[in-house]
Homo-oligomer: A and B are copies of this chain.
Amino acid sequence: MTMDVTFLGTGSAYPSPHRGASALVLRTEGECWLFDCGEGTQTQLMRSQLKAGRISKVFISHLHGDHLFGLPGLLCTVSLNSNPDPQQSLSRVDIYGPRGLRHFLRVTLGLTGSQLLFPYAVHELEPTGDQSPEEGQLSPEVTADRGPLHPQEQPGRTISLDVSSECYLLFDDQRFVVKAFRLFHRVPSFGFCVQEHHRPGRLKTELLKELGLKPGPVYGRLKAGKAVTLEDGRVVLPSEVLEDPIPGRKVCILGDCSSVLGEKPLMLCHGADILVHEATLANEHREKAQDHGHSTPGMAAAVARACCARRLVLHHFSQRYKPGGAQKEGDKDDVSELKRQAEEALQDSGVDVVLAEDFLTLSVPIRTNA
């Protein structure tokens, strides 16, 4: 049940020796989900404690190169390092991102003759016209995924906005429900909300004893949410003998943006354990940031406050902000100032602020009812 987030690249626009381009990994039970994949992500992965072969899902927030150019190479390297044992078929990698991503991968993998040992599918999110200026929108002609599928490509879904909830349902499995929502940026951009399902509360063992129930299979039935009929005909409902359910954890990762579209995504992200938000430039450059579809610490803080997030993690810093260790005397841009600005905006809100750095890992502890 461990869950953590590792930042592989926290720089904006391009990778540099100081900061990788955008990429982070959400890890649960050894499975790795990659969010964005700028150029050099595979090398950053090799430098980290994570295993590229564990990546089962990839989420691309938007199609800017600093979030995408590492993906074809990453898939090739995962394949090269996977076990080519034909007996053991490798499981599929599911890739989620804006319309156009399927064509991007088909062309880049196809023209380079990149063979993969595992199947993949690209599930495309259909943006709406208000996610970017008009010049940032791709015509259906440009994104059409014509031509034959890659030999390992399986048909992916096309996912449209659910207008009533203002979000996209990516999947809902035994452990997680994952949704996307719309952001405003120079090109259509998305945020992702990973919500762990609630788990049943603990059994009230004292009460069970009073009811005359002894530990055994019956306890399992109740814990699994099923009613039990006693020998004397009485029916015990799970709700009577279970503590409150343990709330699932919630991690929200937003792509580049100057704003979130709609009110409901803020409710979707309500109470997030971790809200990852960009802060490309400091508050004093707010106008420039907005012109480029980016945010300042103050803008990120406003989103975190609206969501009542527990922790706001800032990343996607302009390369002018060097990490602490790489700063030199005379550098006038100080990344810690970004943290200070977010903290100032979050005074008395109870939201913690964290500055991401390449290779920083944050754990997301199990919630308690206390």
Partner-B contacts on A (CB < 8 A): 13-17, 21, 39-40, 42-43, 46-47, 63-66, 68-70, 72-73, 76-77, 80, 100, 103-104, 107-108, 110-114, 136, 138, 141-143, 147, 186-187
Take A72-B65, A80-B13, A141-B147 as given contacts and tell me if A113 and B187 are in contact as well, using a CB distance cutoff of 8 Å: yes
Task: State the oligomeric state as a number of copies.
Answer: 2
Contacts of A40 in B (CB 8 A): 15, 39-40, 43
C-alpha gap A86/B43 in the complex (Å): 37
Contacts of A47 in B (CB 8 A): 17
Instruction: Please give the distance in Å from A80's CB to the nearest CB on chain B.
Output: 6
Q: Are B108 and A70 closer than 8 Å at their CB atoms?
A: no
C-alpha gap A64/B108 in the complex (Å): 10
Of the candidates B46, B77, B104, which one forms a contact with A111 in the assembled complex, judged by CB atoms under 8 Å apart?
A: B104
**Can you list 15 A-B contacts with CB-CB less than 8 angstroms, sorted by A residue number?**
A13-B80, A14-B73, A15-B42, A16-B43, A17-B43, A17-B47, A21-B73, A39-B69, A63-B112, A64-B112, A65-B76, A68-B112, A104-B111, A107-B107, A113-B136
Contacts of A112 in B (CB 8 A): 63-65, 68-69, 104
Instruction: Please give the distance in Å from A110's CB to the nearest CB on chain B.
Output: 6
Q: Are A104 and B113 closer than 8 Å at their CB atoms?
A: no
C-alpha gap A17/B44 in the complex (Å): 8
Contacts of A15 in B (CB 8 A): 40, 42-43, 73
Q: Are B70 and A39 closer than 8 Å at their CB atoms?
A: yes
Contacts of A187 in B (CB 8 A): 113
C-alpha gap A16/B302 in the complex (Å): 39
C-alpha gap A206/B331 in the complex (Å): 61
Q: Which 9 A-B pairs give the minimum distances between C-beta atoms?
A: A39-B73, A14-B77, A107-B107, A69-B73, A65-B112, A100-B111, A104-B111, A113-B187, A40-B40
